[in-house]
Amino acid sequence: MNWILIVYVAAISLFAVIITIFDKVRAMRGGWRVKEATLLLTAFFGGSAAMLLTMLLIRHKIRKAKFMLGIPLIIALQIAVVYCVRRFCGV
Protein backbone atom coordinates (compact mmCIF):
# COMPACT_ATOMS: atom_id res chain seq x y z
CA MET A 1 0.00 0.00 0.00
CA ASN A 2 2.74 2.47 0.90
CA TRP A 3 4.59 1.91 -2.37
CA ILE A 4 1.44 2.80 -4.32
CA LEU A 5 1.29 6.14 -2.51
CA ILE A 6 4.99 6.74 -3.14
CA VAL A 7 4.60 5.98 -6.86
CA TYR A 8 1.52 8.24 -7.05
CA VAL A 9 3.25 11.18 -5.35
CA ALA A 10 6.35 10.72 -7.52
CA ALA A 11 4.24 10.65 -10.70
CA ILE A 12 2.10 13.67 -9.82
CA SER A 13 5.21 15.56 -8.71
CA LEU A 14 6.94 14.82 -12.01
CA PHE A 15 3.82 15.93 -13.87
CA ALA A 16 3.74 19.15 -11.81
CA VAL A 17 7.37 19.91 -12.67
CA ILE A 18 6.80 19.22 -16.38
CA ILE A 19 3.70 21.40 -16.74
CA THR A 20 5.26 24.22 -14.72
CA ILE A 21 8.35 24.25 -16.93
CA PHE A 22 6.18 23.91 -20.04
CA ASP A 23 4.09 26.91 -18.96
CA LYS A 24 7.24 28.96 -18.32
CA VAL A 25 8.63 28.15 -21.77
CA ARG A 26 5.31 29.00 -23.40
CA ALA A 27 5.18 32.27 -21.43
CA MET A 28 8.58 33.25 -22.80
CA ARG A 29 7.76 32.26 -26.39
CA GLY A 30 4.10 33.21 -26.47
CA GLY A 31 1.26 30.98 -27.46
CA TRP A 32 -0.91 28.44 -25.68
CA ARG A 33 -0.47 28.36 -21.89
CA VAL A 34 -1.41 25.93 -19.17
CA LYS A 35 -4.54 27.11 -17.33
CA GLU A 36 -3.97 28.35 -13.81
CA ALA A 37 -6.72 26.02 -12.62
CA THR A 38 -4.79 23.06 -14.04
CA LEU A 39 -1.64 24.12 -12.22
CA LEU A 40 -3.50 24.59 -8.93
CA LEU A 41 -5.40 21.31 -9.25
CA THR A 42 -2.15 19.48 -9.92
CA ALA A 43 -0.74 21.02 -6.76
CA PHE A 44 -3.88 20.10 -4.82
CA PHE A 45 -3.76 16.47 -5.90
CA GLY A 46 -0.21 15.97 -4.64
CA GLY A 47 2.24 17.93 -6.74
CA SER A 48 2.36 20.99 -4.50
CA ALA A 49 5.87 20.65 -3.07
CA ALA A 50 7.45 19.86 -6.44
CA MET A 51 5.52 22.66 -8.12
CA LEU A 52 6.48 25.24 -5.50
CA LEU A 53 10.14 24.26 -5.69
CA THR A 54 10.07 24.37 -9.50
CA MET A 55 8.32 27.74 -9.52
CA LEU A 56 10.96 29.19 -7.22
CA LEU A 57 13.86 27.68 -9.18
CA ILE A 58 12.69 28.87 -12.60
CA ARG A 59 11.09 32.08 -11.25
CA HIS A 60 7.66 31.36 -12.70
CA LYS A 61 4.45 32.84 -11.27
CA ILE A 62 6.33 34.07 -8.20
CA ARG A 63 4.61 37.45 -8.39
CA LYS A 64 1.13 35.95 -8.35
CA ALA A 65 -0.38 35.82 -4.86
CA LYS A 66 -2.71 33.03 -6.00
CA PHE A 67 0.35 30.79 -6.33
CA MET A 68 2.73 32.16 -3.71
CA LEU A 69 0.06 31.98 -1.01
CA GLY A 70 -2.15 29.27 -2.47
CA ILE A 71 0.42 26.54 -2.94
CA PRO A 72 1.92 26.86 0.56
CA LEU A 73 -1.65 26.74 1.91
CA ILE A 74 -2.26 23.57 -0.12
CA ILE A 75 0.94 22.08 1.34
CA ALA A 76 -0.22 22.96 4.86
CA LEU A 77 -3.62 21.39 4.16
CA GLN A 78 -1.98 18.23 2.83
CA ILE A 79 0.25 17.97 5.91
CA ALA A 80 -2.80 18.40 8.15
CA VAL A 81 -4.71 15.69 6.28
CA VAL A 82 -1.79 13.26 6.51
CA TYR A 83 -1.43 14.02 10.22
CA CYS A 84 -5.14 13.47 10.88
CA VAL A 85 -5.26 10.25 8.91
CA ARG A 86 -2.23 8.86 10.70
CA ARG A 87 -3.41 10.06 14.12
CA PHE A 88 -7.07 9.11 13.98
CA CYS A 89 -7.15 6.23 11.51
CA GLY A 90 -3.94 4.55 12.65
CA VAL A 91 -2.59 4.31 9.11
20: number of Cβ within 10 Å: 26
- The percent of residues in the chain predicted with pLDDT above 70, rounded, is 98
Q: Where are the domains of the chain?
A: 2-89
What's this model's pTM, rounded to 2 decimal places? Answer: 0.91
SS3 82: helix
> CB under 8 Å to 47, separation ≥6 — which residues?
12, 13, 15, 16, 17
Distance CA 37, CA 42 (A): 8
Contact predicate 3/11, CB 8 Å: no
Q: What pLDDT is recorded for position 1?
A: 61
Task: Indicate the angle between helix axes 48-58 and 2-29, nearest 10 degrees.
Answer: 30
Distance CA 3, CA 79 (A): 19
Give the residue ranges of the chain where pLDDT is below 50: none
Averaged pLDDT score across all residues of the chain: 95
